[in-house]
Amino acid sequence: MESTVLSACLLLLLLGWGDGAVLPPDVLDTAPEPSMVELIQLFQDFMSRFNKTYSNPEEQHRRLLIFRQNLATARALEEAGQGLAQFGVTRFSDLTEEEFRAQLLSPMPGHTLRPAAQSPSKPAPPSCDWRKAGAVTPAKDQGLCGSCWAFAAVANIESLWFIRHQDLYNLSVQQVLDCSRLQVACGGGFPWDAFTVAWMYGLTQEEQYPYIGCQSLCKSGHQAVASIKIFQFLSSDEKKLAAHIATRGPVTVGINANLLQFYVEGIITKNMTCHCNPEEINHAVLLVGYGLAPEKKTPYWIVKNSWGPEWGEEGFFRIYRGGNACGIASLPVTAMVHEGAFDAAIESCPP
């Protein structure tokens, strides 16, 4: 690892900051804590932790400046989080906002909501977490393919199939990419594009059709282990949405994911959501439950992401529940899977 990470003194010299050199004006103008030496150490740790290398010293210099500005952004977000959320260094900390959006997010412009399905008549219980029932697979990593729409839909089917049949499968996202009718599946899509594939072909297991992070030809001959009857749009009323999740299972939603670039853990609070326009839906995720934090009695959603288990809270995050925070209730949609034996279904979500 020493060959890929420069020492603090050497990096200072390469960047012109050693031996009494004057810091560049753009750094001086915006340089809060940490100190420059501490910043270099943080950047080294970041490079080592996420195995980052750069083509030349100039590019490393540029990434350090981006890293530094992103630390300031993360610090401001954490201050706005009122102690309930932690923002800091993630594997995306050397990316500009534009690069982060281009590499990880998939804008969903022009979506039209269809009539929502009828919601459960009973009010939602105080809390729900389908992970406690074993109904949620570990978070997966979409990589640099804009396939969140497929991951969020497949995760929905995985959970619903378990709730109805007591069989938890890691289903193939790659099958969805390859067999969808999208010309550029890694360029983004809608969850119902994935549901259509599941309806037409059924879904096989991940181990039979592994993820490669790019679109290829649709392969036939794999045994389907899960299928769906239809998909349906749900009400954007968050009380009704919670009731649906508690009684019927996780739901796929869209979200403005701009705040997630530096998310580490905790609850993204209501007063932070001014940083994420709810009209700009650019990422698909899965609501797996909800709760109420004792601190300041903050209601929140529990959300499964597709950036791997090392990101966030083992691949999950929590965000304020109420007021359509970051657009999270704008586009709820779910599959309906084929029913199993009556006595196999799980009737309620664990609190």
Q: What are phi and psi of 70, to 5 degrees?
A: -65, -35
111 classed as catalytic: no
Residue in 148, 186, 276, 349 annotated catalytic: 148
Q: Is 139 helix (H, G, I), strand (E, B) or coil?
A: coil
Q: Which among 156, 63, 152, 171 is positioned nearest to 106, based on CA atoms?
A: 152
Question: What secondary structure does DSSP assign to 11-79, as a single string?
Answer: HHHHTT-STTPPPPHHHHHH--SSPHHHHHHHHHHHHHHTT---SSHHHHHHHHHHHHHHHHHHHHHHH
Question: Known catalytic residue: 277?
Answer: no
User: What one-character DSSP code corresponds to residue 117?
Assistant: P
- Residue 146: phi and psi, rounded to 5, are -80, 60
Is 148 a catalytic site residue? yes
Residue 193 to residue 177: CA distance in whole angstroms: 9
Note the Cα 302 to chain centre separation in Å: 11
Side chain identity, residue 144: L
Largest CA distance in the chain: 75
Alpha helices in 172-330 (DSSP H): 173-179, 191-201, 238-248
Give strand pairing partners of 20.
none
| Residues annotated catalytic, as ranges | 148, 283, 305
